Amino acid sequence: MQINEKTAVIEAILFASGDPVELDRIAEAADVERDTVVKLIALLNDRYEETGSALEILKLGDSYQMATTEKYADYIKAALETKKKTPLSPAAMEVLTIVAYNQPVTRGFIEQVRGVDSSGIVTSLVEKNLLVEAGRIDVPGKPIAYRTTDNFLRCFKMNSIHDLPPIPNMSDQIGFDELIEEEQKND
């Protein structure tokens, strides 16, 4: 393996991890000596600095982690806050309602109630810390169950899940025929 390829392997490991990776683990995975890993990381940092890259590799004890330079912190913060402030779609509100009233529930249950694939919405709500994994259900396949979080309660100004309004009874709801009759009376 040539030096450029070894450097690329180390860069890929650190990028894919996102978390600090111990020097020994990098050396083993890249199949290079510890001292060589340290030199290649220094080479990567030099390359990043020369090109004005937003990336750098930090040494954290006996581990290394790829990170962005402090210079770009405000931009990153603004981008991530914008994502967090994005209002919830009607579909996301529907998924939250299903989970809140029936928790813990599986993605399959949510999809059965909604009648459409909801995996992207569930993932988005987990990223927004409105839903969290609540273990696995003891059925074949052991699907992940989801429940609402304390952040969900805070966002919707509730002290507990018991503060949810009651689900209306069928007798409290207006039927389609009754709606048509009401409109005909008003015409």
Q: Which residue has the higher pLDDT, 64 or 181?
A: 64
The rounded distance, in Å, linking the Cα atoms of 115 and 11 is 43
**3-class DSSP assignment, residue 132:** strand
DSSP 8-state class, residue 94: H
Measure the CA–CA gap between 71 and 101, rounded to whole angstroms: 45
CA angle 109, 94, 178 (to 5 degrees): 105
Task: Answer whether residue 151 shows pLDDT above 90.
Answer: no
- The pLDDT score that the predictor gives to residue 170 is 66
Position 96 pLDDT exceeds 60: yes
Count other C-beta atoms under 10 Å from residue 8's C-beta: 15
Q: Which two tokens stand for residue 78?
A: 């603004």
* pLDDT of 7: 93
Q: What is the mean pLDDT of the chain?
A: 87
Domain locations in the chain as residue ranges: 3-71, 90-167
What is the model's pLDDT at position 12?
A: 94
What is the pTM (predicted TM-score) of this model? 0.50
Name the nearest CA neighbour of 40 among 8, 13, 65, 75. 8
What is d(CA 18, CA 163) in angstroms, rounded to the nearest whole number? 39
DSSP-assigned beta bridge partners for residue 60: 63
pLDDT digits (tens, 9 = 90+) for 4-17: 899 999 999 999 98
58-86 per-position pLDDT tens digit: 988 888 999 999 899 888 888 877 655 67
Q: Which residues contact 28 (CB under 8 A, 6 or more apart)?
A: none
Q: Which of the four pLDDT bands, split at 50, 70 and 90, describes residue 181?
A: confident
* pLDDT at site 146: 95
Residue 2 has pLDDT above 60, yes or no: yes
Indicate the CATH number of 90-167 among 1.10.3720.10, 3.30.360.10, 1.10.10.10, 4.10.1240.10: 1.10.10.10
**Is 126's pLDDT higher than 60?**
yes
CATH class of 3-71: mainly alpha
Task: Count other Cβ atoms within 10 Å, centred on residue 133.
Answer: 11
Q: Six-digit token pair at 40? A: 């290649």
| Range 157-162 contact pairs with CB under 8 angstroms and sequence separation of 24 or more | 161/100, 161/103
Asked whether the predicted pLDDT for residue 97 surpasses 60, the reply is yes
Q: Residue 133 is encoded by which pair of tokens?
A: 């994994």
Residue 184 has pLDDT above 90, yes or no: no
